[in-house]
Amino acid sequence: MTTPELAPQLPAETPQGRSFTGPVLLISLGIVLLLQTLGFLPWGLWYSVLRLWPLLLVMVGVEILLGRSRIGAGLALVVNLVILALAIWWVSMWFVPVDTMQTTSINQGLNGANRATIQLSMAIGQLDLGAQTTPAGLIDGQATGFSNERLDQSFNLTNGVATYHLRNTDEQDWQLPFTSRDGDQLRWTLRLNPTIPLDVQVQTGAGRNQLDLRQLQLTHVSVNTGVGETNLLLPTQGTFTVDVNGGIGSTTITIPVSLAAQIEARPGLGDVVVDGAFTQHDHTYTTAGYETALSRVYLTVKGGIGQIRLVQVGGR
């Protein structure tokens, strides 16, 4: 008489909770970006929100501590939603009226420079960059920010090569406000000299950026975006390089059809879309006649979260 073999007994599965912290944060981020794009929330909102980043550690800790079971995961979701609601309430307490803003005039002469490097570092707001209609000095314009915000400007000249750096510095305490819904008053409007070769380096935080470089003489362009929208317009002629690192949001690069181009595109979590008469080989896009063209640009594009779009257009 044979004894029937018994199937091996597997240990009972312990119900595991599902993580909600990541999806909740992504959904919240998407809603905020959508409302800002539609104009219902100011881009200055991020000036306060970014100072609350330690709450991410708290929310992850709550998830780890309570999220080992289904009941605990539900409790962790409730706790994190309460934390998120309190953060939103705190941010909403710090609207700033228009009379707390100040405008600073920007005016830097050439001082004999025959080429220049321009470095612009804007933490938050709208950057409107273009060429001077009547060349006068290296850079001019206006910068509007908070009344207790400091603008740092530096200028150096070595062997005819100028280096100009403009950035805003946070001198505020923990009560970090942002502009009112009908505002977007944080804004730099700057114009560059179109008669000398320029290396333009732009670092942005959160906001909308219009970089119209069509009338400038460029040797190199570097753009590092944060959160928001960026439009970059390139000139019709010249030989130069462009490096773009995308952040969170959308970036559009406009390339004139008269400018031969080669693009090396590396998408991140978002998309890199190339629209025009390009031949593609792996991650490289090239227009016809690029190697022998007198006017050409080599672009290196690295995507972030969102979309980077390169569009070829006919002329100015």
Locate the domains of the chain by residue range: 21-93, 98-313
Question: Would you state the pLDDT for residue 279?
Answer: 93
Q: What is the pTM of this model?
A: 0.70
**CA pair distance 101, 219, nearest whole angstrom:** 35
Blockwise average pLDDT, block size 10, the chain, 316 residues: 54 53 74 69 62 74 75 79 75 53 92 97 89 95 82 95 88 40 69 98 88 97 89 95 88 94 85 88 92 95 84 76
Q: 173: Cβ–Cβ under 8 A, 6 or more apart, which residues? A: none
Q: What is the CA radius of gyration of the chain?
A: 25
Question: For residue 168, with 0-12 CB atoms within 10 Å meaning exposed, 13-18 middle and 19 or more buried, which class applies?
Answer: buried
Question: Would you state the pLDDT for residue 173?
Answer: 39
**205 contacts 226 by C-beta, under 8 angstroms:** yes
